[in-house]
Amino acid sequence: MRNLSDQEIIDSVKRGNDSDYSIIVDKYKNKAFSMLKRMLKNEFDAEEVLQDCFLKAYKSLNAFKGEAKFSTWFYRIVYNTALTRLSSQKRKTESEMTSVEDHFNLESQYVADEIEKKDLSKFVQETITKLPERYSAVITMFYLNEMTIEEISGVMGITVSNVKVMLHRSRNALRDLILKNRLAEELI
């Protein structure tokens, strides 16, 4: 069976073939879940929000005209739903922090002895969840979902340069943590 494009699947769902929506769900569920888990810092909430996102997307399929990529459109739903959940939980959200000029300190969240015991890859993977929500979203979209800076900018509703600043800042924070704790001394 040939691989159907997102648009072909959506057209089929719009024609009433609800079960075809499962192809879309299977394609995006893990990537969207990874993003939500890192933003919400909670697996259970992430899965619940993911379910809401797919239902929202399904209900709004008629509004999707195919002008943008489906993935961009869908991740915008995911991102906004996550922010809504965060604000409803009265947690400190990046949207309340006004701009990307805010600073964060990953170092304060770690004890050096704990870091040394961990594998570097695992350490990086885990540290992403310690980043502020919008930063971890940028990292996930860029590296895991392989989205371009422009696409991320479209999803988050911010400028391309702001996305770059957030990406660079996240990398710098991780780098500083590695350097300060001599986590990859032999590689460097």
Please tell me whether residue 124 binds other proteins under the rule CB under 8 A.
yes
In angstroms, the CA 108 to CA 15 distance is: 53
Nearer residue to other proteins within complex by CB, 8 or 43: 43
Burial class of residue 136 (count of CB atoms within 10 Å of its CB; 0-12, 13-18, 19+)? buried
| Nearer CB in complex with other proteins: 5/17 | 17
Instruction: State which of residues 39, 40, 77, 128 lies at the interface with other proteins (CB under 8 A).
Output: 128
Is 110 an interacting residue with respect to other proteins (CB under 8 A)? no
List C-alpha distances in Å: 58 to 13, 39, 167, 176, 180: 9, 23, 31, 42, 47
Helices (H), 3-158: 6-14, 21-40, 43-59, 70-88, 112-116, 120-128, 133-139, 149-156
97 touching other proteins, by CB under 8 A: no
Enter the tokens of residue 17. 């073939």
Q: Is 11 in the site for other proteins (CB under 8 A)?
A: no
144 contributes a contact to other proteins by CB under 8 A: yes
Binding site for other proteins (CB under 8 A): 18-19, 21-22, 25-26, 29-31, 33-34, 37, 43, 47-48, 50-51, 54-55, 58, 120-121, 124-125, 128, 139, 143-144, 164, 167-168, 171-172, 174-175, 178-179, 184, 187-188
